[in-house]
Structure 1
Amino acid sequence: MTERVVITGASSGLGQAAAEEVAATGRHVVLACRDADRGAAAADEIRARVPDASLEVLELDLADLASVRAAAKALLAGPPLGALVCNAGVQVVGGIRRSRDGHELTFATNHLGHFLLTRLLLDHLAEAGRIVLVSSGTHYGPRRSMGFPAPHWENPSALADPELSVLDDSPRSGRIRYATSKLANIYTTYELNRRRNGRRITVNAFDPGLMPQTGLARDYPDRFRRLYGRIAPVLVRAVPGVRSVARSAADLSWLVTAGEPGVVSGLYFVGRRPRKTSDESYDRVRALELWEFSERLVSE
C-alpha cells in the first residue's frame, strides 16, 4: 500500500515544493489547502514535473475548526497515514484579524488549527509514522533571526484573544505574534513527543530558514513585496541562513521520508541537523499550559 503523506499549505511555496519532493519518492501526497482550486493548480504543476506523482487535493482551512474537523474526517476514512506535515502559516501585519471561530488569526492558523488536526489524526498515524511541525528561527529573537522581533509569550488566553494581549495592532506586533506562534509550534512538538506513550512515531520541528521567495510577506504593503521579490535571489545567494525554497523543501522531504522511522524524535531540525532551541522553548510549564488551553478551545 502506498504511504500517504499529508502536507498543509501545499498550494504554494515550501508546501508545494515539499509535496513535489515527497511525491517523487513514490508516496501518495495529500495537498491540504485552504483554496481547493489553487491546490488543484499546484497538483497540475507537480505532475508536469513528476508525471507519475500520486496526488490528491483536500480542502482545509486551518482558521476554521469546522473545516479542520471535516478534513480530518475525510482522511480518517482512508488507510493509516504515514506522515503529517504541519506547514501552513500566516503572518499578519495589517492590523488584528480573527479566525472564523473568533481567535486571533495568527494563533488560530499557525497553532490551533494544526493542534486540532494533529489530535484528530494522531491515532490514525501508522506505526513508525512521522509528524513534522514547521517552525522558524524567529523564535530565537533578533540576534539570530536577522532583526526579526522576538516572541512575546503571554497567557494562552491572551494569545488567542487580542483584547487580552498587551500587543497592539501595529505591524511590529503582527511580526511578534508570528514569532510567538512559531515558539508555540516548538512547545507543541516537545509536549506531543512526551505524550507518545511508547508509540514508535516521531514528532519533530523543522526550521526552513529565511525563505524570501515564499508568500509569507503577502500581507505586507505592495511596495515592500515588490522590492522583496527583486532582492530575494540575491539574498539566497549571498546571505548565510537564507535558503531557497527548493533547498528547504528537499530538507523537509528528507525529514519526512529518510532514515529509520520512529527513532529520532522530539528535536528541532535546521536543515538536516538537530539544533538547540531558545532557552524559553524548554519551559514545560508553558508547554503544558498551552496544550491544556488548546484542548479546551477545540473541544466541541
Structure 2
Amino acid sequence: MSFSNTVLITGGTAGLGFQTALIIAREHPEYLVVLASRTDPGSAAESINNTLSQKNVTFLPLDLSSLTNVRTFGQAWKAKNFPPIIVLLLNAGTQFPRDLRQTGDGIESTFAINHVGHALLLHLIYPNFASRARIVVTSSGAHDPAQKTGLPDAKYTTAQELAHPSPETAQNSGLQRYTTSKLVNIMWTYALHRRFTKLTEKKLTVTAFDPGLMPGTGIARENGRVFRMLWVHLLPRIIPVLRLVSRNIHSPQESATNLAWLAVSDDVEGVSGIYYEGNNEIKSSEESYDKAKQEDLWQWTVKNIATEESEIEKFEIAN
C-alpha cells in the first residue's frame, strides 16, 4: 500500500504519543505513522494496526540520549524512502529526579534527551519534510513559575551550563533540570519559528504544546517506588478530584485529542510560533521570550550537534 505522507512521533509507543498516533492513524489512513522510541515492549505499532484493522503504523528504534544513534536513525530514515514528512511530533521526554546523570556524549541527560537529541533529529530529517509541514514540540506548564505547579522554577543560564553543569549547578535538583528543559523546548520553538518565516522553498510551522499533568504516563519511571505506585495506580483514578486543585490535569487520551488537533487539524493550518495549553493559545513564561537566550540556545545547539563546518551552515536552516 502506498501512502501520501508521513507522520513521525517520538515517544510514540506509550502514553501521550501512543494515544496521539492512534487518533491520527484512524483519521488519516492515507498517512504512514512512524513511532520512534528507544524500545517497543508492547508492540505499539502492531497494536494500533490491529485495533484499526489497518497497516499504516510502523516502529523504528530511536535513542535520543545518543547522538550517534540519532544519526543512525537519520541514515535508516533516508534508506527507507518513506513519503515526505507532513507532521513531526517531538513528544518524547524524561526526567531524572535524583542525582545528576550524563549521557555517553557527556551531556546532562535531561537536556540531552528532551532537547539535544530532538534538535539533531529535526536537522537530519529536514530534507524529508513535505513542502508544507508542521512540527509540534511537547513542553509543559511546569516551565512557567507563574503557574505555581509545585516544581522548582525553571532557570536558563546558558546552553553550555545546562549541557555541562558547573560544580554549583550540578547540585540543582533533577526536577529543576526537568522544568528548565521544558523552558528550553519553548525557547527553541520560538528560535526555529523565526528561521521558518524566512524560508521560501518550504512552508513549515512550529508550535509548542503543554499536555498538562497526565498521571499514569511513563514520565515518573525514574521516581521512587512509592511515588511510582501512586502515579500509576491511584492518581489516574482520581483525575476529577485532582482537577479541583488544577484544571490542567488530563488523561493521556484527553491530551492526545489536543495534540492530534495541533498536528493535523485545518483549524491551525499555518499557525506558527505559538504556545498552546491543550487547545488554547496562551502566553508562555516571561523568560521564554528572551531572544538573547533563545539565540544562545540555538547557536550552542547547532555547533554541538554538527560534526563539520558544512553541517553547521546546513543546520542554520535560514542562514
TM value normalised by structure 2: 0.88
Identity of aligned residues (%): 38
- C-alpha separation between the residues in 1 aligned to 2:236 and 2:111? 30
Q: 1:159 aligned to 2:166?
A: no
> Which stretch shifts more, 51-60 or 173-182?
51-60
Helix, strand or coil at the partner of 1:249: helix
Q: CA RMSD in A?
A: 1.6
Mapping for residues 17-36 of structure 1, pairs under 5 Å: 17-25=19-27, 26=29, 27-35=31-39
Give the aligned partner of residue 180 of structure 2: 180
Residue identity matched to 1:54: N
Match of 1:275 in 2: 282
- What CA distance in whole angstroms lies between the structure 2 residues aligned with 1:120 and 1:164? 33
Q: Residue 67 of structure 1 aligns with which residue?
A: 69
Q: Deviations over 1:244-276 (max 9, x none)?
A: 100111111111111167511111111112111
Aligned to 2:119: 115
Distance 2:128 2:203 in 1: 13
Letter in 2 for 1:34: R
Alpha-carbon distance in 2 for matches of 1:113, 1:86: 10
Matched letter for residue 174 of structure 1: G
Aligned-partner Cα distance in 1 for 2:159–2:148:
24
Unaligned runs of 5+ in 1: none
Kindly state the Cα deviation for residue 53 of structure 1 after the two structures are TM-superposed: 4.3
Matches within 5 A, 1:219-298: 219-238=222-241, 239=243, 240-259=247-266, 263-298=270-305
Cα distance in 2, alignment partners of residues 145 and 12 from structure 1: 28
Aligned 1:4-83 pairs, distance under 5 A: 4-25=6-27, 26=29, 27-35=31-39, 37-38=40-41, 41-77=43-79, 78=81, 79-83=83-87
Count of matched residue positions in the alignment of Structure 1 and Structure 2: 294
Contact 1:204 1:268 (8 Å CA) reproduced: yes
Q: Deviations over 1:190-244 (max 9, x none)?
A: 0000001233111111110000120111111111111222332344222121011
Q: Distance in 1 between matches of 2:109 and 2:215?
A: 22
Task: Supply the distance in 1 between the matched residues of 2:263 and 2:55 (Cα, whole angstroms).
Answer: 17
Q: Given the two structures, how large is their TM-score scaled by the length of structure 1?
A: 0.93
Runs of 4+ aligned structure 1 residues displaced above 3 Å come to none
CA distance in 1, matches of 2:8, 2:148: 29
Q: Does structure 2 conserve the Cα–Cα contact (< 8 Å) formed by 1:92 and 1:174? A: yes
Measure the CA separation in 1 of the matches of 2:18 and 2:269: 25
Contact 2:216–2:233 under 8 Å retained in 1: no
Q: Which runs of structure 2 are paired with 1:77-92 in the superposition (5 Å)?
A: 77=79, 78=81, 79-92=83-96
Aligned partner of 1:133: which letter? V
Match of residue 131 from structure 2: 127
**1:1-29: per-residue Cα shift (whole Å, max 9, x none)?**
42200000112111111111111121211
Is 1:299 paired with 2:306? yes
Q: How big is the shift at 1:54?
A: 0.6
Partner of 2:211: 208
Q: Which of 136, 141, 152 is the aligned partner of 1:149?
A: 152
Opposite residue 284 of structure 2, the aligned amino acid is: T
Which residue of structure 1 aligns with residue 97 of structure 2? 93
Secondary structure of the residue aligned to 2:137 is strand
The offset of 1:146, in angstroms, is 2.6
Deviations 1:161-200 (A, max 9, x none): 133552416xxx1000000000000011000000012331
Q: Which amino acid aligns with 2:107?
A: H
| Counterpart code for 2:24 | V
Q: What amino acid does structure 2 have at the position aligned with 1:278? A: S
Q: Decide whether aligned partners of structure 1 residues 145 and 71 sit closer, same or farther in structure 2, where only a CA change above 3 A counts.
A: farther
Letter in structure 2 aligned against 1:187: M
State the partner residue of 1:106: 110
Q: Give the Cα separation in 1 of the matches to 2:125 and 2:92.
A: 17
Distance 1:235 1:296, change over 3 A: farther
